[in-house]
Amino acid sequence: QVQLVQSGAEVKKPGASVKVSCKASGYTFTSYYMHWVRQAPGQGLEWMGIINPSGGSTSYAQKFQGRVTMTRDTSTSTVYMELSSLRSEDTAVYYCARGAHIVVLQGWFDPWGQGTLVTVSS
Amino acid sequence: DIVMTQTPLSLSVTPGQPASISCKSSQSLLHSDGKTYLYWYLQKPGQPPQLLIYEVSNRFSGVPDRFSGSGSGTDFTLKISRVEAEDVGVYYCMQSIQLPPTFGQGTKVEIK
């Protein structure tokens, strides 16, 4: 079955960086976009960006431009999201979610990873 | 960015009774390909969101038929015909006609 498994919880100090991984299985990794979405405690869903696992091209939400980097490793079917210059407001659960087939950009997000809690605290 | 506005933000429903959630977008979600890129998700406590409805009115695999979606253009509705205890959680609408995909604020559904 299609599955996304994310790395474990992280605790970081302000100003540090965090790199979260998302390992895909059960489908052709390079055929579907991957999105990253975050959710602050008790808050809604916030889209961060998208990566095309085939060519590695990315598009980021303006809010995170300059601080986020999304990469992929096709040999292990894993995508990564690195967020730098962390501040307390970045404390959130970070989700990867499979998007549409790469021949179209629009589409639903399914499945989602289980989420990775990143806590930023001094 | 397209703004998605949900109402109400919270709902308390007696089991077996219907429930309805509205979602309005700041721009039409009808694409030139004829599809309308509006989705509904349910996030149960402690879980990631799960897809319920895609392209306005299509139930995703395994979604009970008590869930239905309707609407067009900029106005959309999710209906639960008879709410069950397992339906508690936060419901989100989402558009993906253009980047960035955007979500509504969420509607928290609880059981009376």
User: Which pLDDT score, from 0 to 100, does residue A103 have?
Assistant: 83
Looking at residue A120, its pLDDT comes to 98
The reported pLDDT for the residue numbered B59 is 98
- Mark out chain B residues that contact chain A at CB-CB < 8 A: 31, 35, 37, 39, 41, 43, 48-51, 54, 60, 92, 94, 96-106
C-alpha dihedral, A21 to A65 to A86 to A72, nearest 10° = 10
Between strands B4-7 and A58-60, the pairing is unpaired
pLDDT digits 0-9 by tens, B39-51: 999 999 999 999 9
Query: Residue for token digits 């299609």?
Result: A2
- The whole-angstrom distance between residue A99's C-alpha and the CA centroid of its chain comes to 12
Task: Report chain A's terminal Cα–Cα distance, integer Å.
Answer: 40
Q: Which residue of A has its CA nearest to B107?
A: A44
Q: Give A104's pLDDT tier (boundaries 50, 70, 90).
A: confident
Distance from CA of B109 to the nearest CA of A (A): 14
Confidence class for position B112, pLDDT limits 50, 70, 90: very high
Cβ–Cβ below 8 Å for B35 and A106: yes
- Taking every pair of Cα atoms in chain A, the longest distance, rounded to a whole number of angstroms, is 44
Whole-number pLDDT of residue B48:
98
| pLDDT, position B85 | 96
What's the confidence (pLDDT) of residue A105?
82
Nearest CA in chain B to A111: B50
Q: Residue B17 has what pLDDT?
A: 97
Q: How far is B110 from chain A (nearest CA, A)?
A: 16
* B92 to A115: CB separation less than 8 angstroms, yes or no: no
Give the per-residue pLDDT at B111: 95
Mean pLDDT estimate for chain A: 97
pLDDT tens digits, residue range B49-103? 999 999 999 999 999 999 999 999 999 999 999 999 999 999 999 999 999 999 9
Are A108 and B49 inside 8 Å of each other by CB? no
Q: Please judge whether B37 and A106 are an interchain contact, meaning their C-beta atoms are less than 8 angstroms apart.
A: yes
- pLDDT at residue A106, as a whole number: 85
Can you give the pLDDT at residue A23? 98
pLDDT at position A21 is: 98
Q: Is the pLDDT of residue A102 over 90?
A: no
pLDDT of residue B60: 97
**Nearest CA of chain B to the CA of A74: how many Å?**
24
Residue A94 pLDDT > 90: yes
Q: What kind and span of H or E run contains B53? A: strand B50-54
Contact pairs from chain A to chain B, CB under 8 Å: 57
Write out pLDDT tens, residues A16-59.
Answer: 999 999 999 999 999 999 999 999 999 999 999 999 999 999 99
